[in-house]
Structure 1
Amino acid sequence: MEQTKTYLSETVNALKPSGIRRFFDLAAGIEGVISLGVGEPDFVTSWSVREAAILSLEQGYTSYTANAGLLELREEISAYMEKGFHVTYSPKKEIIVTVGASQALDIALRAIIDAGDEVIVIEPCFVSYAPLVALAGGKPVTVQTKKENDFKITAEELEQAITNRTKAVILCSPNNPTGTMLNRHDLEEIAAVAKKYNLLILSDEIYAELSYDEKFVSLAAIEGMRERTILISGFSKGFAMTGWRLGFVCAPEEITQAMLKIHQYAIMCAPTMAQYAAVEALKNGQEDVIGMRKDYRRRRNYFVQSLNEIGLECHVPGGAFYAFPSVQSTGLTSEQFAERLLLEEKVAVVPGDVFGESGQGHIRCSYASSMEQLQEAVKRMKRFVERI
């Protein structure tokens, strides 16, 4: 009898589909849904940025760029990082333009991981971190943060997870899904652990422009951390350019040149017209970024206060555009709450446990929606909480 043969990778077979996707699919089939589930700005990319892309097409700039990206764009990124975040990188040797921050994270992990290396993943976190570690041949080791500490990782919690196989830590501040932002003191404590154990930190700073109550501090700007930080960022969130799929990575030359080899074979280069758009965003897009940040802050203040008033305890997120309220007072799990809220009141949120075990009992709500939609969502959520 012929034996059944599978052609699929065991690693890929073991991956679970994104928990976010199921709720998007559910919501797509329901009319009148207010979606607080999408991690995407509701602003349109600035006109001058769109115009720059159009002009590049009209001028016939439709060929490949250098593998690492347009030199002009890398020079603008270098200047932007130095002026705004006080870290200096060589445009020619230490910056790569990527297809979104996600690709930057992917090639960074593939560049540093050998089979069996451990990478610490701090939860709750973006759903791709652990799968990307596994796909690179590494072992994700999760560390759970606590609601009582506003989901901030402590140096002690981090140190307890380190073994002789630990190669790196993935850090995200401001955080998706909690909105928690680490201040300079927090980062200095983490830096001390990284230096003590000779660890790399992959610092996901995609939400750096969206910090509300204090100035964002890049981990790479902490003393002694530039040489052991892979700084990942992009244009999706702060510049409202999600669909352009453009990110970048800054790191010491040894690391970026290793990443560039993978990038060359897998991608060649990021889309040319998107790169010209990004040049314009960095040169002339700051006013729009400031305007978006002010509006997000206003929405955050209203939405978080409203959540607490209706009985869903929520800490004040320092950045990004997510609130992460507790639903434990309702007696429902994260998934039960999210599913019933969608079916009964037509408000789409994401169960907190899809971002890790410590997210259980919470939901992620994006306030990157109009104030009118947020107000209506609060009314529906209040009605739902009172009913149950």
Structure 2
Amino acid sequence: MSESRLSPNLALNQAVARRQAAGESLIHLGFGEARLPVFPPLAERLAEGSAHNAYGPIHGGEEVREAVAGYFGRRRLPTSPDQVIVAPGSKPLLMAVQLVVDGDVIIPRPAWNTYAPQAALAGKRAFGVPIPQDCGGIPDPALLRQEIRAARGYGHDPRIVVLTLPDNPTGTLAGPERIREICAVAEQEDLLIVSDEIYRDITHDATTPFLSPAEVAPHRTVVSTGLSKTLAVGGWRIGAMRFPDGPRGRRIHDAVAAAASEIWSTLALPMQQVARYAFSEPPEIRDRLAASARLHGAVAREVHRIVTGAGALCRPPTGAFYVYPDFEPLRGHLAGKWGITDSPSLFQHLFDTYGVVVLAGHHLGDDEGALRFKMATSLLYGDTRARQQESLEAADPLRLPHVRDVLTRLEESFVKMTS
């Protein structure tokens, strides 16, 4: 058996929780959780559904799949309920695709730290292709074609490419032209596109164009989504997947359903009641999504200002709730003053010296020698539900003392490290 390790972000979150419980004051930016209170109507639907304790259909009930189909349809992806499977989170659905679709996997580099381990668990090779200069979440289209052909030359068999729109870890969104370029490569090389769109409803500017690869290459694109990020119910584990129409999509859909029947059986019926309500998007859900996106954008932009002000390079965040700074311009200073020479030592210095917790870039497939890391800005809204709700409702959350104080401490930490 090959060596198995805990997911680095989950392991880090557990370590931080232990140290905080022991009384340490930490700025935790290492875990991608939307740290907001549960929206009361969601809790009401969960309570109403709690009497349902049967298993239910493997794919999910007809009503919840109709709601998910409507959600996609309102996003220019006409969908029938038969194209949808709901599950306890999008993570098992993504894993199931790896189990049932043949071939190796191409992922962006850096990327969410689960894609590569899932490929390995499925007995596949994961090939990381660097992201473009302008955005993350996709392999650079020109390099993608080169990597595919080089891999095939060595006897490997890449057949899947994974995209994240918007991106974790860079907090950026690939534009329509980039998506069309990726889809063109997928058509030429006969790749299945797995489009992870769990952050789709967290774009910081409502006018930002979003093009799903399922609009460009509908016959070869699987789309995953969920409620963990947009509605801050990660621990409830509610995910959904849309499969292509036609014979190929039906084969993948049926194979994923077969895997589900042996792994998770079904999404719990109380959670299906929550999902049915949320994916139907009544006005109060739309308002909540808009308020959350505004908060995520405001704080992410401020953290971007802080790290670039300290001398880092960083793509401006446009979606999700992350920034991904690169301290390469300060390599000489950081090495000479602090002995920081790579991703692990940069992480350790921030943690031990300033109590700033990030997720080191090498855990995301980045070069270990690089000076890059992920910051989850969604953990900066307050340490109580009342403060988090206040942040969500504020016209300018950056002026709230509990938000401003932690941002000031963060800025002071980077100034000390880089001056």
- Is the shorter-chain TM-score for this pair beyond 0.5, marking a shared fold? yes
Relative to structure 1, is the Cα distance of residues 22 and 260 closer, same or farther in structure 2, using a 3 angstrom cutoff?
closer
Choose the corresponding residue for 2:362, options 334, 353, 360.
353
Partner-residue secondary structure (3-state), 1:188: helix
| Offset of residue 253 of structure 1 | 1.9
**C-alpha separation in 2, matches of 1:253 and 1:171:** 21
Which residue of structure 2 aligns with residue 3 of structure 1?
none
**C-alpha separation in 2, matches of 1:217 and 1:292:** 21
Which residue of structure 1 aligns with residue 224 of structure 2?
232
Choose the corresponding residue for 1:176, options 168, 184, 188.
168
| Offset of residue 25 of structure 1 | 4.5
Map 1:129-278 to 2 at 5 A: 129-145=115-131, 148-151=133-136, 153-163=139-149, 164=152, 165-213=157-205, 214-222=208-216, 225-251=217-243, 252-278=249-275
Q: Does 1:385 align with 2:414?
A: yes
- Flag structure 1 segments of 5+ consecutive residues without an equivalent: 1-8
Which residue of structure 2 aligns with residue 308 of structure 1?
308
Map 1:77-92 to 2 at 5 A: 77-83=68-74, 85-91=75-81
Count of aligned pairs between the two proteins: 367
Partner-residue secondary structure (3-state), 1:232: strand
Which residue of structure 1 aligns with residue 297 of structure 2?
297
Q: Deviations over 1:184-210 (max 9, x none)?
A: 111000000001111101111111111
| Offset of residue 138 of structure 1 | 1.5
Q: Deviations over 1:145-170 (max 9, x none)?
A: 25x44445322111011144221111
**C-alpha separation in 1, matches of 2:68 and 2:134:** 34
| Offset of residue 89 of structure 1 | 2.0
| More deviation, 31-40/185-194 | 31-40
Which residue of structure 1 aligns with residue 276 of structure 2?
279
Which residue of structure 1 aligns with residue 83 of structure 2?
94
**C-alpha separation in 1, matches of 2:12 and 2:52:** 40
Q: Deviations over 1:231-275 (max 9, x none)?
A: 111111112110110101111222111110111111110111111
Q: Does 1:337 align with 2:346?
A: yes
Which residue of structure 1 aligns with residue 108 of structure 2?
122
Which letter maps to 1:69?
A: G
Q: Deviations over 1:69-121 (max 9, x none)?
A: 121110000011001x2112220x211001111011001111102xxx32112
Which letter maps to 1:75?
A: E
**C-alpha separation in 1, matches of 2:10 and 2:235:** 18
**Percent of pairs with identical residues:** 24
Q: Deviations over 1:7-37 (max 9, x none)?
A: xx23xx2x44433345434433251112111
Q: Deviations over 1:290-337 (max 9, x none)?
A: 110111111122221122122233221221100111122134322222
Tell me if the contact between 2:105 and 2:127 (Cα under 8 Å) persists in the aligned partners: yes
Choose the corresponding residue for 2:100, options 111, 114, 120.
111
Which letter maps to 1:337?
A: L
**C-alpha separation in 2, matches of 1:20 and 1:56:** 31
Relative to structure 1, is the Cα distance of residues 265 and 18 closer, same or farther in structure 2, using a 3 angstrom cutoff?
closer
Choose the corresponding residue for 1:71, options 57, 62, 79.
62
Choose the corresponding residue for 1:48, options 29, 41, 44.
41
| Offset of residue 131 of structure 1 | 1.2
**C-alpha separation in 1, matches of 2:117 and 2:55:** 30
Tell me if the contact between 2:307 and 2:414 (Cα under 8 Å) persists in the aligned partners: no
**C-alpha separation in 1, matches of 2:359 and 2:260:** 32
**C-alpha separation in 1, matches of 2:160 and 2:293:** 31
Which letter maps to 2:210?
A: F
Q: Does 1:362 align with 2:354?
A: no
**C-alpha separation in 1, matches of 2:402 and 2:32:** 15
Relative to structure 1, is the Cα distance of residues 373 and 345 closer, same or farther in structure 2, using a 3 angstrom cutoff?
farther
Tell me if the contact between 1:308 and 1:314 (Cα under 8 Å) persists in the aligned partners: yes
**C-alpha separation in 1, matches of 2:347 and 2:375:** 10
Which residue of structure 2 aligns with residue 5 of structure 1?
none
**C-alpha separation in 2, matches of 1:183 and 1:177:** 16
**C-alpha separation in 2, matches of 1:65 and 1:307:** 48
**C-alpha separation in 2, matches of 1:245 and 1:177:** 20
Relative to structure 1, is the Cα distance of residues 63 and 21 closer, same or farther in structure 2, using a 3 angstrom cutoff?
closer
Divergent runs of 4+, >6 A: none
| RMSD of Structure 2 on Structure 1 (CA) | 1.9
Tell me if the contact between 1:78 and 1:89 (Cα under 8 Å) persists in the aligned partners: yes
Q: TM-score scaled to structure 1, two decimals?
A: 0.89
- Flag structure 2 segments of 5+ consecutive residues without an equivalent: 244-248, 382-397
**C-alpha separation in 1, matches of 2:202 and 2:312:** 24
Tell me if the contact between 1:230 and 1:250 (Cα under 8 Å) persists in the aligned partners: yes
Which residue of structure 2 aligns with residue 319 of structure 1?
319
